[in-house]
Amino acid sequence: MVKILGIDEAGRGPVMGPLVMAGVMINEEDQDQLGEVKDSKLLSHGKRMQLDKQIREIADFKVIEVEPEEIDAALLSEDLNLNWLEAHKQAEIINELQPDQAIIDCPSTNCEAYEKYLKELIPNKNIKLIVENKADMNYKTCSAGSILAKVRREERVQELKDKFGDTGSGYPADPKTKEFIKHNWNKHPEIFRKTWSTFKKIAESEKQNQQTLF
């Protein structure tokens, strides 16, 4: 039996909250049991929730949540960027689940270079890697990973709203998110990705406003 692992992420672009990586592994002949999986963005919230439950019952999986502090540290590092950080988290999932084949939804346009970097992080050289753009649209296990990641990301966003108020979606273009940052940028620093230009612009503007007042 060939064990197929698919890995995808949710929350790469938002200015607040975690990046969530998820891997789903199942025997090759059992992939149809994953149901009507597809890229999570193409599914309704209700359908994602239904499939999330179904996937967790029949497949092996691992979900990793990467907090804003770790994302910022990677972007400020000389050795990492957001793509390489994703590769390290993907390798963590692969090294724990030990599939025969791992399918990666590649965040880089240069899939060849990305695959080379990822291989260096995986001691078991017998694991076959498939590294492609939009793999979540073409492979069931990647689609399943996309769903688990998206559902957990949505849960985390709701937790932020329950704790801090209406944060909006967390995406930089969301007016509610921008307004939330304006009033909370220095109150809850742990929830923001401070390397994002949206955060830096708003925080700098608010600092100047405070200096003007005093």
CA dist., res. 28 & res. 5, Å (int): 9
pLDDT band at 74 (very low <50, low <70, confident <90, very high): very high
Q: Is the dihedral of CA 88, 133, 63, 55 positive or negative?
A: negative
CA dist., res. 164 & res. 213, Å (int): 26
How high is the mean pLDDT of the chain?
Answer: 94
- Single-letter amino acid code for the residue at 7: I
Distance set, CA 140 to CA 55, 132, 149, 207 (Å): 11, 14, 14, 48
- Single-letter amino acid code for the residue at 144: A
Q: Where do the domains of the chain lie, and which CATH numbers do they carry?
A: 3-161 (3.30.420.10), 166-213 (1.10.10.460)
pLDDT band at 212 (very low <50, low <70, confident <90, very high): low
CA dist., res. 84 & res. 89, Å (int): 9
Read off the pTM: 0.93
pLDDT band at 40 (very low <50, low <70, confident <90, very high): confident
Please give the pLDDT value at position 42. Answer: 80
Portion of the chain with pLDDT greater than 70, in percent: 98
Higher pLDDT, 100 or 211: 100
Tokens of 75: 């972007």
Can you tell me the mean pLDDT for 47-57?
95
Per-residue b or e along 121-151, where b marks 16 or more CB atoms closer than 10 Å to that residue's CB: ebeeeebebbbbbebbeebbbbbbbbbbbbb
Residue 209 has pLDDT above 80, yes or no: no
Find out whether 156 and 22 touch, Cβ atoms under 8 Å: no
Find out whether 139 and 106 touch, Cβ atoms under 8 Å: no
